[in-house]
Amino acid sequence: MKILYIEDDLRLAELIKDYLEKNGFEVLLAHDGEEGMNTAIKLQPEIVLLDMMLPGMNGMEICRRIRHGFSGFILFLTAQDDNMDEVAALEMGADDYITKPIEPRVLLARLRAVSRRYAGKPSALFYFCGLEIDTGARKVTLDGKEVILSPNEYELLIFLAENAGLTMSRDDISERLRGINYDGLDRTVDITVSRLRKKIGDSDKRPEKIKTVWGKGYMLVKDMGAPR
């Protein structure tokens, strides 16, 4: 898989690049915000790793600008450990957020969890509540109109669709989306559910499609057609 790493610390960027390339990834580097944004849009790598603080354009602005035209995975790798920054990044469309310093093996595990999503899987079609999900084409439509989902939003929808009518805990979802256990404080799952609801015509206050099961997790309503 191709990774674009946007990082102005040249030494760190080269260390991460060398480590990931030794473990089977192709890594491109960009060292300022504008270069990184343009490279992401032009080359469409499967994964963009980016720092929060960058010269020229910060990571948050890059995420905002590329999200609608970029179908890959966006992961912040940053020394900024403010919870508000993490929430803002996720709401902006980031798929994950990791604070530095991080063990290279941990980063590798997270990236491998992402790469497994792109491995060949049997195609299936799901229909429910005006939604059609074609896993072969990785395409979702609502009442005939395509819905553009981030990789995490899409993976969450597929996971809930595969388990329609069953309650999936935050731990279940975190393991599927991030390859790690839910720590009780992380907001990634809840924010991803909220973003997905908005895109599929659901509501956080009175959800009809993705129900909140208080104290347990989330459940996709079981009026869904069986996969075909």
Q: Listing from the earlier edge strand, what are the strands of the sheet with 139-142?
A: 125-128, 131-134, 139-142, 145-147
| Predicted local distance difference test score (pLDDT) of residue 116 | 77
191 lies in which domain range?
125-220
Q: Please, are residues 209 and 220 in contact by the beta-carbon 8 Å criterion?
A: yes
* Assigned domain for 228 exists: no
208 and 131 belong to one structural domain: yes
Residue finishing a domain among 78, 100, 117: 117
* CA–CA dist 126, 43 (Å, integer): 31
Structure tokens at 227: 């996969």
* Assigned domain for 225 exists: no
What CA–CA distances, in Å, run from 144 to 38, 125, 133, 141, 184? 32, 14, 11, 5, 38
Strand, helix or coil for residue 79: coil
93 and 130 belong to one structural domain: no
Q: Please, are residues 15 and 39 in contact by the beta-carbon 8 Å criterion?
A: no
Give the distance, in angstroms, between the CA of residue 163 and the centroid of all CA atoms in the same chain.
Answer: 20
93 and 193 belong to one structural domain: no
207 and 131 belong to one structural domain: yes
| Predicted local distance difference test score (pLDDT) of residue 224 | 46
| Predicted local distance difference test score (pLDDT) of residue 228 | 44
The values of phi and psi at residue 89, to 5°, are: -65, -45
Would the pTM count as exceeding 0.85?
no
| Of the candidates 215, 176, 219, the residue with the CA atom closest to the CA atom of residue 197 | 219
Residue finishing a domain among 66, 91, 117: 117
| Predicted local distance difference test score (pLDDT) of residue 42 | 92
11 and 96 belong to one structural domain: yes
Average pLDDT by stretches of 10, the chain with 228 residues:
93 94 95 93 93 90 88 85 79 86 85 76 76 86 89 90 91 82 70 92 88 91 56
Residue finishing a domain among 117, 147, 165: 117
| Predicted local distance difference test score (pLDDT) of residue 193 | 93
CA dihedral 216, 159, 174, 172 (to 10 degrees): 50
28 and 103 belong to one structural domain: yes
- The number of beta carbons lying within 10 Å of the beta carbon of residue 143 is 10
Domain count across the chain: 2
